[in-house]
Amino acid sequence: MKKRKKLRIKSWKRFVSYSLACLILISASIIGCGFAIAHIVTATESQAATSSDETQTALAENNTSSSETQSNALQSIAQNTSPTVTLDASEPAQDDPYADIKERLRNNDTEGLKVVFLTFDDGPTPYTPEVLDMLASFDLKATFFTNHHKGSDAAANYCRIVSDGHVLANHTSSHLYDFYSDPTLFMGDVQSLRDYQIQVTGVEPPKIFRFPGGSANANTACVQAILDAGYTYADWNVIAGDGSSSVPEPSVITQNIIDGCHEHDVSVVLCHAELKENTRAALPAAIETLLAEGYTFLPMEEGIPYPHQLEV
Ligand SMILES: [Zn+2]
């Protein structure tokens, strides 16, 4: 058996030096690894934290973006909501509860109908808001045959007639009969008011016309001119009786309107409620009675045949 050779330390001094060197190297390695691990852990945590922050920031930005989108949408809606009425052609038309009646009116199939067209001439005046309030209290729509009246109060009244859903109709700018002698001048008087109505209200009113004094005071040339320009013209078949300077008592006007409407399937009532106090006082009782009797009040529309004093 081979005898194992004994390990002898020849130089203790060299042994201690080597041992110390190894110890230092091992310690340095451990410390270095420790630093390296610590650095990696810190870096990972930092990256995770940064990622989390970025996620939160992104979410916050998304929320902000969402808020901004909603805000922009609301602003857009607000900007698109103008005081004038605009209809979206893509939306289906709302059901008109009077569609059947209007169809019969257009076809002149009026027997047994109980329809009233209230018409107010020569305004607007400072009393127009009072008339509009009265109509609103009954939820009724009417037709206002207006002339040209200047001033901010008049402008506000034209606008409210439209915004309340009534018909802003044409009764010439000047109300002068003189223009009947020249159809061109007459149509200029009609167009002048239409331009003013559009300028003041921002909307094009329907082409519904009443001759000053009625078509009986005009002539066939002017009637033809108004038809050629695309207007539907309307006279009346019921009078409140307030056209002259001597205005009847309110009770008489009320009875005039009720009795007149009883005589027709379709009544067009002429009155001057924006001018005459007694007419304003008379109207509520007349409306209440006729509503209770089953009458329907409608605003005028183009294309419906209304009473004519003069035809062509
Ligand atoms: Zn008039």
How far away, in angstroms, is 190 Cα from ligand 1 center? 13
Mean pLDDT of the chain, nearest integer: 82
Q: How many CA atoms lie within 13 A of 304 on its CB side?
A: 25
How far away, in angstroms, is 62 Cα from ligand 1 center? 63
Which CATH fold topology does 99-297 show? TIM Barrel (3.20.20)
Of the two residues 264 and 81, the one the predictor is more confident about is 264
94 pLDDT band, cuts 50/70/90, is: confident
Domain ranges of the chain: 17-66, 99-297
Flag whether pLDDT at 171 surpasses 50: yes
Cα separation values, 73 from 58, 68, 155, Å = 22, 8, 32
Tokens encoding 172:
């010439």
Q: Cβ–Cβ contacts within 10 Å for residue 229, how many?
A: 13
95 pLDDT band, cuts 50/70/90, is: confident
- Name the β-bridge partners of 266: 115
Tokens encoding 195:
């331009």
Flag whether pLDDT at 43 surpasses 50: no
Query: Do residues 240 and 270 lie in contact, with contact meaning Cβ atoms separated by under 8 Å?
Result: yes
Active site residues: 121, 272
pLDDT exceeding 70 applies to what percent of the chain?
70
Predicted pLDDT of residue 88: 45
Number of helices and strands in the chain (H, E): 8, 8
Flag whether pLDDT at 82 surpasses 80: no
How far away, in angstroms, is 205 Cα from ligand 1 center? 18
- Which residues make Cβ contacts (< 8 Å) with residue 186, sequence separation at least 6? 172, 179, 180, 218, 222, 225
160-169 b/e with 16+ CB inside 10 Å = b?
bbbeeebbbb
Q: What is the DSSP string of 165-198?
A: T-EEEE--SS--GGGGG-HHHHHHHHHHHHHHHH
Predicted pLDDT of residue 30: 56
How far away, in angstroms, is 122 Cα from ligand 1 center? 5
Flag whether pLDDT at 126 surpasses 70: yes
Helix (H, G, I), strand (E, B), or coil: what is residue 208? strand
Of the two residues 303 and 64, the one the predictor is more confident about is 303
Tokens encoding 136:
């609103």
Report the range out of 17-21, 56-60, 195-199 with the highest average pLDDT: 195-199
Closest CA relative to residue 196, chosen from 154, 144, 232 = 154
How far away, in angstroms, is 207 Cα from ligand 1 center? 17
